[in-house]
Amino acid sequence: MPLLEGRTGIIFGVANKRSIAWAIAQSLAREGMRLAFTYQGERLKEGVESLSSTIPGSLLLACDVTNDAEIDAVFGEVGKQFGRLDALVHSVAFAPREDLENEFVKTSRDGFKLAHDISSYSLVALSRAAMPLMLQNGGGSVLALTYYGAEKVVEGYNLMGVAKASLEASVRYLAANLGPQNIRVNAISAGPVNTLAARGIKGFTEMLKHHAERAPLRRSVELEEIGNAGLFLISSMSSGITGEVMFVDCGYNIIGL
């Protein structure tokens, strides 16, 4: 029997077929999970719709994660259609381009707030909204996406590194808070992949090349590998793991010199 037969999940962060969220969705759907997808704004609707329609029985809903009313509406609809929820995938991040490109010391107050709101606080807001539906079935699993720049300084990552550090700390605090209700919260720290969000990072192509040269596996991580690691952390195969940030980066993070 497929691993996730009869299970349901919601995926935040599909923009196109290169999105990490889409890779994770495909792995979850392959194992039988029924999925709801959200898209940010009308501009992305058509693209996400054409992807989600390839997965039978899936839902498509609009959600800007800075908008509490939209978050409530999304989980209201998921409750109506699915009646329960087993998984939440948070694959969302944003920082204004000038705050990524400027020297870090020049980070603007508004940019700092927006980056943290979209890239970190939203994990707390979405987990809270998902909780009642997860408790319908005795628990659930939440997964977020992060990057090495949360731990170490990576040139060009700047404000996003600080927002990811906040996201990773939120993973641990949420895991401790929701663990007694059998809700697990984990993150994947992915190696660089060429996506829409990644193109906002100055020098991304050099970063990709550097990773492939230095990583123990001597290559960049594939989207499908991140998808399958997501499947592991969402499914009961990882039932003893919570509050963890798991690297899926071909081993790059273990190298010192």
Residue 11 near ligand NAD by CB under 6 A: no
Kindly tell me the number of DSSP H helices and DSSP E strands found in the chain: 9, 7
User: Is 5 or 155 the residue whose CB approaches ligand NAD more closely?
Assistant: 155
Site string for ligand NAD, 148-187 (x = CB under 6 A): ----------------------------------------
Site size for ligand NAD (CB under 6 A) = 27
Which of 19, 186, 220, 242 binds ligand NAD (CB under 6 A)? It is 19
Measured from the CB of residue 91, what is the shortest distance to ligand NAD in angstroms? Answer: 4
Active site (annotated) includes residue 147 = yes
- The DSSP output letter for 150 is G
Active site (annotated) includes residue 157 = yes
Q: How do 183-190 and 245-248 pair as beta strands?
A: parallel
Coil, helix or strand at residue 46: helix
Which uninterrupted H or E stretch holds 34? strand 34-39
Interacting stretch for ligand NAD, rule CB under 6 A, among 54-62, 105-113, 179-187, 190-198? 190-198
Measured from the CB of residue 21, what is the shortest distance to ligand NAD in angstroms? Answer: 6
Residue 222 near ligand NAD by CB under 6 A: no
Query: What DSSP string runs through 98-141?
Result: HHHHS-GGG--HHHHHHHHIIIIIHHHHHHHHHHHHHHTTT-EE
Q: Identity (one letter) of the amino acid at 198?
A: A
User: Is 205 or 236 the residue whose CB approaches ligand NAD more closely?
Assistant: 205
Q: How far is residue 78 CA from its own chain's centroid?
A: 19
The answer to whether 126 and 144 are in contact (CB under 8 A) is no
User: Is 66 or 108 the residue whose CB approaches ligand NAD more closely?
Assistant: 66
Q: What angle do CA 156, 158, 162 make, to 5 degrees?
A: 150
Site string for ligand NAD, 37-76 (x = CB under 6 A): ---x---x------------------xxxx----------
Rg of the chain over Cα atoms, rounded to whole angstroms, equals: 17
Measured from the CB of residue 46, what is the shortest distance to ligand NAD in angstroms? Answer: 13
User: Is 139 or 232 the residue whose CB approaches ligand NAD more closely?
Assistant: 232
CB count within 10 Å of CB 55 equals 17
Give the side-chain half-sphere CA count within 13 A for 54.
Answer: 11
Report the interface residues with ligand NAD, using CB under 6 A.
13-15, 19-21, 40, 44, 63-66, 91-94, 118, 145-147, 190, 192-193, 195-198
- Which sequence positions are flagged as catalytic? 147, 157
